[in-house]
Amino acid sequence: MNKRANGVLLHITSLPSEYGVGDLGPAAYEFADFLFRSGQSYWQVLPLNPPAIEIPHSPYNCISAFAGNWVLISPQLLKEDGLLTAKELADKPCFPDKRVDFHSVIPYKRKLLNKAYRRFKSRPIEQDYERFCRENSFWLEDFALFSALRRHFGSVLWYDWSAQFRDSSKAAEQSLVSRLSDDINREKFLQYEFFRQWYSLKRYCNERGVKIIGDIAIYVSCDSADVWSKPRFFKLTKSRKPQVVSGVPPDYFNKAGQLWGNPVYDWPALKKADYSWWFERIGHNLKLFDVVRLDHFRGFVAYWEVQAGHKTAAKGRWIRAPKDDFFARLFKKFPDSAIIVEDLGHITPAVRAFVDKSGFAGMRIVLYGFDTDKKRNVHYPGTHIKNCVAYSGTHDNNTIQGWYESTSEDQKARLFECIGPKVPTGQLHWKLINVTMKSAANLTIIAMQDILGLGAKARMNLPGSFSESNWVWKLRKEQVTKAIAGKLNKTTKANARARL
């Protein structure tokens, strides 16, 4: 990322699809073509892991740090492989076209995938499938067993299962597991199909000069295969429930802080194991993506932990992580890796100095650049450095248009100092996109909602809220026009960021 370039932020679930939710099928390839035509070098997506809670469908609270989200598997590609029929695809609910209705999507796709699995297991075992299972056994075996048990026990969280099933090493020996063998094999099939479709899409993008940026959420859900199978790496009680949980302290935006509720890591135990789980996870993601973004980088330096049972994050404490040792070993193991760090939120001078010392590309959010005086604001476009990634906004921000309609007069005044006082109607988003691309940052990323000039209803997520309106925005096929591609291409070229 040492050359000027631009990319677009759009999660897979937001792609157009006649099957209710964006997937890895034809629309993903069409979007890759749009990026190619508009001179883009990067496509940034959110975590691809399966959410622990299906609604709201947050990709940052997952039941596995390694598995892929089966909801993203394309029915159309399964039909092309002979695993589904045209008649089966034609029989579908009437899905909304502007948002994802996970209430309808999840049971519909589960039914389709069950049919695909029945056809798959009636065929001779494929060598590619056997190789996939063998190469991914370090996480796949535990995940498939956990998922089958989780479905068997229903709404009971794993730490309330009977003792022999709470212990992953004992669970595999139980007679129940043999009765669940079909469910276990089904989970392996779904993972095989997900990764087969993903790598095909990634290869298509790379052949057109488009690299993919993927996100690694710092924490996993307590109700996850990782915590179940590797409890020693998390701060748990003797009954294997979280002793302390994750969050961030109170700040200007939230007086109670944010209580995320994920179990936090036992870093001394991770260090004793040579950080094996983390390095397996990062290595896995470096195969999935060309560039990875480490979410909540602050937590790798020091993390905020709150006693389990507290209703807010206000009464927590900072705990230091072994950052120097961890990252020294990380650089040795992955010397040529491309990593972006999410250094937003409560960032102290010491954390900022560590980011600079490590050589990581940090983040700058242009919409934050107008919160305060530009001389004291690292997000103001004129203060950006080369080794950073400048965003118009992320999945956690309002859209440009939505931000403008709700922001203060002081912020608007600082905005117009930057872009000029006269902005033609409907052109505010392009003005700010242009300002973002003019940044000194080597890489800039523009959210697809901002390219389209959409308002607050197109916002992807409101942090700290569990609203069902989070994670559901969906792009419509007719919005991705030649005119939009041409405008984006022209703006990218004008700022010397177009892909050669």
366, 390 contact by CB (below 8 A): yes
Catalytic residue check, 167: no
439: alpha, beta or left? (left if phi > 0; alpha if psi -120 to 50): beta
Written as one letter, the residue type at 215 is: D
Query: Which pLDDT band, with edges at 50, 70 and 90, does 373 fall under?
Result: confident
Q: Which SS3 state, helix, strand or coil, does residue 146 take?
A: helix
**Of 167, 290, 396, 468, which is the active-site residue?**
396
Residue 466 CA to residue 159 CA, distance in Å, equals 24
191, 145 contact by CB (below 8 A): no
Token pair 């990875």 is found at: 292
Contacts of 87 (CB under 8 A, 6+ apart): none
**Of 101, 342, 343, 450, which is the active-site residue?**
342
Closest Cα partner for 296 from 346, 250, 333, 353? 346
Question: Domain boundaries in the chain?
Answer: 5-122+213-397+410-494
Closest Cα partner for 47 from 69, 21, 23, 71? 69
pLDDT tens-place string over residues 4-37 = 999 999 999 999 999 999 999 999 999 999 999 9
pLDDT tens-place string over residues 191-220 = 999 999 999 999 999 999 999 999 999 999
Quick one: DSSP state of residue 124?
P
Over residues 271-293, the mean pLDDT reads 98
Residue 465 has pLDDT above 90, yes or no: no
Better-predicted residue by pLDDT, 171 or 225: 225
**Domain 5-122+213-397+410-494 falls under CATH 3.20.20.80:** yes
Catalytic residue check, 342: yes
**Of 23, 215, 295, 305, which is the active-site residue?**
295
Contacts of 347 (CB under 8 A, 6+ apart): 298
Specify burial of residue 123 (Cβ count, 10 A radius: 0-12, 13-18, 19+): exposed
Query: Which pLDDT band, with edges at 50, 70 and 90, does 328 fall under?
Result: very high
- Average pLDDT of the chain to the nearest whole number: 95
Query: Which pLDDT band, with edges at 50, 70 and 90, does 59 fall under?
Result: very high
Closest Cα partner for 454 from 437, 476, 422, 435? 476
In residues, how long is the chain? Answer: 500
pLDDT at residue number 444: 98
Exposure b/e, 203-227, CB count within 10 A at least 16 = b: eebeeeebbbbbbbbbbbbbbbbbb
Query: Which pLDDT band, with edges at 50, 70 and 90, does 2 fall under?
Result: confident
Residue 450 CA to residue 423 CA, distance in Å, equals 16
**Token digits of residue 202:** 């990634």
Percent of the chain residues past pLDDT 70, beyond the cut = 100
Catalytic residue check, 396: yes
Residue 29 CA to residue 200 CA, distance in Å, equals 10
Query: Which pLDDT band, with edges at 50, 70 and 90, does 467 fall under?
Result: confident
**Token digits of residue 184:** 């276990």
pLDDT at residue number 252: 67
Rounded to two decimals, the pTM is 0.96
Over residues 370-375, the mean pLDDT reads 86
Other Cβ atoms closer than 10 A to 87: 7
Specify burial of residue 362 (Cβ count, 10 A radius: 0-12, 13-18, 19+): buried
Contacts of 98 (CB under 8 A, 6+ apart): 473, 474, 476
319, 305 contact by CB (below 8 A): yes
pLDDT at residue number 174: 87
Residue 253 has pLDDT above 80, yes or no: no
